[in-house]
Structure formats: structure tokens, C-alpha cells
Structure 1
Amino acid sequence: MDLDGVRTVVAVADAGRFQEAAHDLGVTQQAVSKRVAALERELGVRLFTRTARGAVPTADGHAFLPHARDLLRAEERAAASVRPGGRALRVDVINPRIAPAQVLGDFHRAHPGIALDVVTLFDARAAVDAVRSGSVDASFRAVAHPLPDGVAAVRVLDEPIEVLTGPAHALAATAAITPAELAAHPIWMPAAVPGTEWGAFYDELAAAFGLTLDVNGPNFGTDALLDVVAGSPTLATLVGERTRLVWPAGHDLRRVAVRDPTPVYPHSLVWRSDNPHAALTVLRGYLASLPPGPEAGTWGPAWPIAGRGGPGSGRAARS
């Protein structure tokens, strides 16, 4: 149904005259007459009777008007839902347990008036495709490959990596360990899926320091991983310092810091550079205002995302 015709019928009913409706709509009286006549032909009924006092809705006109107003309100709601700032900011985080999800939660508490729609996509390639297509506004990801034209990214959070062990492990009583010392201990990472950005990160970490990284075995999720590590005297795994993990008290898992250097996982915010959503600008400003992560004594992969503060390329590994 032609919404211009519907809008014109409502304007005529409200004004009571075709001429006044034309003035309200900013068109000619002839245009108003043509729109009304076209809609009447489409509906197969007369909507108005012309009298000396103006245009009076017929019985069919009276029946049509409430629905016509509903159509116009629906049109306005549909338009408002996609106006910049009019809909929730749609943001992808890889896992609700990891640091970017916590940062996004902090942002929401700092800006409670900004509506968020949080989704979880599989890997960086899926996230970048979603950003480029517009199905999400932004994504928190480690970016291991150059981005396509029109997609920007900035590194917003370097998260230190820790060793997680059970109480019987040789490192259980250790406060900190170097990557060189860690090379003597097998690290089990069944979730390090080849081809993903986190898989690429741990591959580079293992290659840089000679770590023994085991990605074999079925990946039954985090809880199953914690069960195995808790009961093993030999297996350890790696987790982000800010990753939230909950385990049964009997597991007695231990976190061991890694120092000299500290490996850091590079979380970046990825967005489409022409995205006009006002809340995206607020989110980027909030992230830029956060205290910088660790710099000295850290190691990170040589991936094509600039340091904190703006999009770019060419950030080298640090040590």
C-alpha cells in the first residue's frame, strides 16, 4: 500500500479540506486529490464525500482511518529503529567470560542509557564479515590478518596470560614462571582451534618460546577442561588474567603468573569506519579513556593492528 496515499488520507481527515491538507503536506491540492483517488481505486471504495463544508469521511473512510493511523505509526517505528542512535548498539564478544565482555559490562554501567545487544560469533573472520555487512556494529577480537577496506580496528586491551594448574601439578606452589621455564611443562589447549585468531595466537606463543602445546583431545568446553586440569599432576592450561572461571572447591586450581616477558593477548575493537551509530562513538571514546595495559616486559604477536588510541597497522611484537 502506498504510504504517501495513506498519509494524505489521514491529513485530509484531520484538516477537513483538501486545500488545507495540501498546505500541511507541502504539496499541491491536485497532488492530494490524485493520491486520494489512487488509494480509493486500490481499495475499491470511496473514502471521502465532498460537501460545502469540505471533505467528510464516508463510512468506509471512518473504518479505514484507525488502521491508516496504525500504518503510519508502524512506519515511524520502523524508521526510528534504524536511525543512528535509535536502536541498540549491536556488539560481538567471543565469550562472556573473557575480559572484553567485562569491559563492555563496565561501559554499560557507566552509560546505562545506551541500549546494547550483545552477540557471540565464532571467530574473527565471522566477526569481520558481520561488521562489514552491518549485521553487527562492533566486535572485540584479536585481529591476526589485514582488514578489508572500510573496516577499522584499534587495539584496546592487552590481557596478560596466566598458567592454570591443579593442586598436584609441579607448578602449583609457584607464584610466577618465565616462558623459558614453562617450556618444560606440557600445556593442554583443546579449544585452540586451528584457523582461529586464538589458535594463531597460541601457535605464535608456542613457537616464540618453545612451548609444548597440545591441542588434541575432544573439546567438551571450559568446565570439562577444568575437571581434567584439576586432577592432573602434569597437564596445565593457559587462561587470560581477567577470564572469569568458577570451579568446585575441591578442584583447588591455581593461577600462576608468567613473567619476563609476560605474554599478552591483544584484544581489539573492530568496526565499520562509516558506521554512524552515535553509541559507537561513545564506546570508542570510553575504551580510549581506559588506563593503558602493560607495556614493558611483555610479548605480543606481530599482527597488523596499531597500538591503543586509533586504527592503523604495523604493530610489532614487544619484549
Structure 2
Amino acid sequence: MDFEAVRTFVAAADAGQFQEAAAELAVTQQAVSKRIAALERGLGVRLFTRTPRGAELTIDGQAFLPQAREVLRAADRAVASVHAARRPLRVDIINSRGAVSGLMRGFHRAHPEIDLDVVMLHDMETAVGALRSGAIDATFRAVGEPGRPLPRDVEHVRVLDEALELLTGPGHALAAARSLPLGRLAGHRIWMPGIVPGSEWAAYYDDLVAEFGLTIEATGPNFGSDALLDTVADTPALATFMGARTRLVWSAGHGLRRIPVTDPTPVYPHSVLWHRDNAHPALGVLRAHLAAVASGQDGARTWTPDWTPAWAAAR
């Protein structure tokens, strides 16, 4: 199969017009028409119908489109596999201050000879798509959420349980506690403006709220961690959750308190994900490192959602 013809078909399907596809591919409109005509002859079907608005997919074209995308992803992975040893290992860590950033800093210290590119992708779909296209080699996510299965070619293993702590200002009613049973948080306002609806961390907190009757508010714009810390420090009625391994710096005048949560301790389950056909030689080194430093907690004294994957038997 002519991969350029398939790539041209996908570009035309996305653009809805041969002219726009030609501009995107930096070829002539005539070249686009010839490639698609050749592809149609090879498949024995019509893929497009010309309309006054442009080009619309036929029923056969609609059926072929997702398969064509997969063909291109496979081709891109094949090309990347022969160049993998000559490029840095690309890893998505979601954010620069969380527990996963600490894991990757530890990996870099242990293996300074490995070139490393760190990226921060926002959502699960983007990260999984980047894994499948070869744009990244690994990502860290909470996986297993019902209704959002991973593609069969994406593998994962749980590598870190991160305990949640309650962060309060000095005037909060719970600020003097040395630790807090999870049940005592019911009735207190927990403000987390960074929760994105539809994200894996939103699913985690939805389940936490449902099981323990907590009040978590995600209202208002998310101005970042500094604004969150300022507000919590100045507002006695608000607290927030923070991962125990999350590194944040605030003014000494804020008087913020990080209070362990117990009985049970809610933990956020981080897994590393990768594409099963990824041939980057450093990916295996990363997975071995993560297996060696994998950190879980006593399941009898912790809480995770029911959909959290189990720890691998040999870790």
C-alpha cells in the first residue's frame, strides 16, 4: 500500500477539501486527486464524493478512515524504531512539581548517560495518542477508570502510590491536628480548582467524594499553585489536598500546614504507560528503574478507587 496515498487520504478527510489537504501536504491539488484516485483503484471502492462544499467521505471512506490512521501510526512507529537509539527518551510527566517529576529526577541521577526529553501533556487522550504515534516513549497516569479502556497496544504497570495530605492555612479549624482520619474531613470545604472534568484525576476525586461524603469544590479559574496557596493561607474556611511527594514553596508568612490523612490514607496510584512496540533502548532501562524503586503502601490502611489496577506480582 502506498503510504503517501494513505496519508493524503487522511489529510483530505480531516480538511474536507482537496485544496486544503494539498496546502497542508505542500503538494498540488492535482497530486492529491491522483493519489486518492490511485488509492481508490487499489481498494476497489469510492472514498470521497465531491460536493459544492468540498469532498465528503462515502460510507466506505468512513469505514476506512480509522484503519488508515492506524496504518500511519504503525508506519511512524516503524520509522521511529530505526532512529530510536539516536534520539532522547521522551517522557510525559504531567507537571513539574509532582511525584512523577521526582521519579524522573531520580532516574536521571541514576542514568545520566541517557539523553532525556521531558514533556508535560494535559490529558489522557493526548498522552495515549502520543504514545501510539511515537511522539513520546512513556507517560505517567492513573489508569483503569471505567468506560475509558486503554488501546490493546498500550501497556502499563503501577509504580507509585502517593498519599494525599490536607493543606490548610493557620486559621483553619483543623490546622492544629498532627494527623486527621479521613472521616473528619466531611463537612469541610476542600478547594481544588485544578480538577479538569473528564480527566483521570477528576474520576479519582469523584470516587473519593462518593465514598467518604467529602465536599470538594473545583469552582473558579485555575491561576496555578501560587494563587491556590495564597488563597488557602488567607481563607480559614478552605483547605486543599496535596500529594505527599508534591514539592511546593511558599512564603514563611503563609503559615501553611501539611497534615497527613489516615484511617484510611487516600493514595493516588501512578502507573507508567508505554507502547508495546516501542523500540527505544532506554525505555527498558526506565522500566527496570521504576520497578526497582516502586513504592506502594499497606492496602489495609489505604484507599484507592475500585478501578485501580493491582500491583504487579513481582515488583
- What TM-score does the superposition give when structure 1 sets the normalisation length? 0.70
2:304 counterpart residue number: 300
**Deviation digits for residues 135-154 of structure 1 (CA, Å, limit 9, x no counterpart):** 10000111233210100011
Describe the shift of the 1:80–1:136 C-alpha distance in structure 2 as closer, same or farther (beyond 3 A). closer
Q: What is the correspondence of 1:4-19 to structure 2 with a 5 Å cutoff?
A: none
Task: Tell me the distance in 2 between the aligned counterparts of 1:207 and 1:84.
Answer: 45
Mapped contact 1:156–1:308 kept (Cα < 8 A): no
Higher-Rg member (1/2): 1
Describe the shift of the 1:182–1:132 C-alpha distance in structure 2 as closer, same or farther (beyond 3 A). same
Mapped contact 1:165–1:172 kept (Cα < 8 A): yes
Task: Tell me the distance in 2 between the aligned counterparts of 1:288 and 1:309.
Answer: 11
**Deviation digits for residues 30-72 of structure 1 (CA, Å, limit 9, x no counterpart):** xxxxxxxxxxxxxxxxxxxxxxxxxxxxxxxxxxxxxxxxxxx
Mapped contact 1:155–1:266 kept (Cα < 8 A): yes
Aligned partner (choices 128, 147, 150) of residue 147 of structure 1 = 150
SS of corresponding position for 1:274: coil
1:265 counterpart residue number: 268
1:176 counterpart residue number: 179
Describe the shift of the 1:271–1:309 C-alpha distance in structure 2 as closer, same or farther (beyond 3 A). farther
1:83 counterpart residue number: 83
1:117 counterpart residue number: 117
**Deviation digits for residues 114-143 of structure 1 (CA, Å, limit 9, x no counterpart):** 010000000122111111111100001112
**Deviation digits for residues 12-43 of structure 1 (CA, Å, limit 9, x no counterpart):** xxxxxxxxxxxxxxxxxxxxxxxxxxxxxxxx
Mapped contact 2:165–2:258 kept (Cα < 8 A): yes
Mapped contact 2:81–2:278 kept (Cα < 8 A): no
Is 1:239 the counterpart of 2:235? The answer is no
CA displacement at 1:292 relative to structure 2 = 3.0
Aligned partner (choices 199, 203, 214) of residue 202 of structure 2 = 199
Describe the shift of the 1:146–1:304 C-alpha distance in structure 2 as closer, same or farther (beyond 3 A). farther
Task: Tell me the distance in 2 between the aligned counterparts of 1:228 and 1:151.
Answer: 40
Alignment RMSD, CA only?
1.9
CA displacement at 1:103 relative to structure 2 = 0.6
Mapped contact 1:93–1:101 kept (Cα < 8 A): yes
Describe the shift of the 1:129–1:253 C-alpha distance in structure 2 as closer, same or farther (beyond 3 A). same
Gaps in structure 2 of 5+ consecutive residues: 1-78
Describe the shift of the 1:220–1:310 C-alpha distance in structure 2 as closer, same or farther (beyond 3 A). farther
Describe the shift of the 1:309–1:276 C-alpha distance in structure 2 as closer, same or farther (beyond 3 A). farther
CA displacement at 1:85 relative to structure 2 = 2.4
Aligned partner (choices 254, 258, 262) of residue 255 of structure 1 = 258
SS of corresponding position for 1:201: helix
Give the share of equivalent positions with the same residue, in percent.
58
Mapped contact 1:153–1:310 kept (Cα < 8 A): no
**Deviation digits for residues 69-94 of structure 1 (CA, Å, limit 9, x no counterpart):** xxxxxxxxxx9995332210000011
Mapped contact 2:267–2:303 kept (Cα < 8 A): yes
Gaps in structure 1 of 5+ consecutive residues: 1-78, 312-319
Task: Tell me the distance in 2 between the aligned counterparts of 1:127 and 1:244.
Answer: 23
Is 1:133 the counterpart of 2:133? The answer is yes
Mapped contact 1:157–1:268 kept (Cα < 8 A): yes
Equivalences, count: 233
Mapped contact 1:155–1:309 kept (Cα < 8 A): no
CA displacement at 1:199 relative to structure 2 = 1.1
CA displacement at 1:233 relative to structure 2 = 1.0
Task: Tell me the distance in 2 between the aligned counterparts of 1:309 and 1:139.
Answer: 21
Is 1:156 the counterpart of 2:168? The answer is no
Task: Tell me the distance in 2 between the aligned counterparts of 1:80 and 1:177.
Answer: 50
2:222 counterpart residue number: 219
CA displacement at 1:308 relative to structure 2 = 3.9
